[in-house]
Structure 1
Amino acid sequence: MDSGYSSVLILLAVWLISRCGAARKWEYEPVLILTTSSDDSLIKLESSIVRLGRGKFGISARVEWNYDTTEETMVEAVVYRSNSGDESDYKLLPWAIPKQTFYDYLNSYYKDVIMKNFAPCSNVPQFKGKFQPPWPKRTYIGDKCVFEAEGFPDIVPPGFYKIIFNCTGPDQPSWSFIGIFKIINKMF
């Protein structure tokens, strides 16, 4: 085998290996974002879907956080999927945030996913190591956030996904958000 042919084979092999790297194989379009609060004076949530260009969407949100969290503040989230988007077609998925304390959530899912995806577009608290209470009372703003899906699976079946997130606690407001996203396969 001549050295020119071997060089071409090596370059081809390197190119093929570099193209096989893991990367997100899907795109999303936000369909609906709903927020609720049992007491707007303690936590007021506002959100909207923002069109950023052809086929590109972001989410803007404003959260006025005016209460203290405790070891009894609990969060949980569930995810449903539908082929059609019809309400009766949604099926519960195993992807979830099991009911846990707010501080456990901050040291796991929040740190691994929320901080990474919201850091460039919001003023959500960032921390290294373990979160040290208290959670700051302030107004949090996310402006035209586009999720790069850091911390999400690389492959997700197409369809409609509904995420329901709840936060509760004794002598605290209950609040939640529901997000519906359409997932499509990425062509390239």
Structure 2
Amino acid sequence: MQQRSYIQSKMKFPIALVGILISLCASTISKRNYDVEIVSIAANSTDESKGKIDLRVERISRGETVLNGTWDWQYDIDDTTMLETIIYSSTSGSENDYKVLPYSIPSITFNEFLEKHYNEIIYANFRNCSNLALFKNRLETPWKKATYTFNLCRPKGDGSPDVLPDGFYKIFVRINGEIEVILIAVFKVFRVFY
């Protein structure tokens, strides 16, 4: 009898340790373990009187960049306005090293993009640093004629996969309708340990 209680008392510690390890692993797996830094942004519009983008990346400290600027949008979106997104990755950041990823958004109407992706990707990353509005429904579209301002924005990759390898990611966005707007942003993804 004494032998059994000795074994039981010795077993409590390993069982508790296993429980702690499992809970630590589960919490680590469910959290994103990388951070995102915006490296560059470039934009072009076929008619700046209807869509002018003046966004720039500014370094505010070592290892920390922000997005500042404006996006002046002066035409109404309709079902002929299309949007497509292509996402590339590179381990080195070299232009010749980028490869297409499966996370792209094929050409869809801009309204369809607003319904499916806007809140989780655009609004989630810029709600605290811009005057962008939350998408509610097509009748109350958040993308109206306006000048959208971005002030000290630090997009953190909300809406992106939970696991991404370290490296550089280029996001190519084309909005095509009454005018064509091209936006190319480059982000650096790096592992964080916390």
Q: TM-score range by the shorter chain?
A: 0.7 to 0.9
1:56 aligns with 2:64: yes
Specify the code of the residue in structure 1 equivalent to 2:192. Answer: K
SS at the partner of 2:36? strand
Q: How has the CA–CA distance of structure 1 residues 180 and 144 changed in structure 2, closer, same or farther, with 3 Å as cutoff?
A: same
Say whether the 8 Å CA contact 2:34–2:189 is kept in structure 1. yes
SS at the partner of 1:94? coil
Any stretches of 5+ residues in structure 1 without a counterpart? none
Which of 111, 120, 127 aligns to 1:103? It is 111
Q: Deviations over 1:61-88 (max 9, x none)?
A: 3111111111110000001111221111
Pairing of 1:3-152 with structure 2 (within 5 A): 6=12, 10=16, 13-14=19-20, 16-18=22-24, 20-21=26-27, 22-128=30-136, 130-132=137-139, 135-152=143-160
Per-residue deviation at 1:14? 5.0
Per-residue deviation at 1:11? 8.2
**Count of residues in correspondence between the two structures:** 184
Task: Give the RMSD, CA atoms, in angstroms.
Answer: 2.2
Any stretches of 5+ residues in structure 2 without a counterpart? 1-7
Specify the code of the residue in structure 2 equivalent to 1:32. Answer: S
CA distance in 1, matches of 2:124, 2:146: 20
Runs of 4+ in structure 1 deviating by more than 3 angstroms, as ranges, are 5-12
Which protein shows a greater Rg?
2
Which residue is 1:185 aligned to? 191
Which residue is 1:174 aligned to? 180
CA distance in 2, matches of 1:8, 1:86: 49
Per-residue deviation at 1:150? 2.0
Q: How has the CA–CA distance of structure 1 residues 122 and 7 changed in structure 2, closer, same or farther, with 3 Å as cutoff?
A: farther
Say whether the 8 Å CA contact 2:43–2:184 is kept in structure 1. yes
Identical positions, percent: 33
CA distance in 1, matches of 2:156, 2:40: 18
CA distance in 1, matches of 2:140, 2:182: 21
Specify the code of the residue in structure 2 equivalent to 1:161. Answer: Y
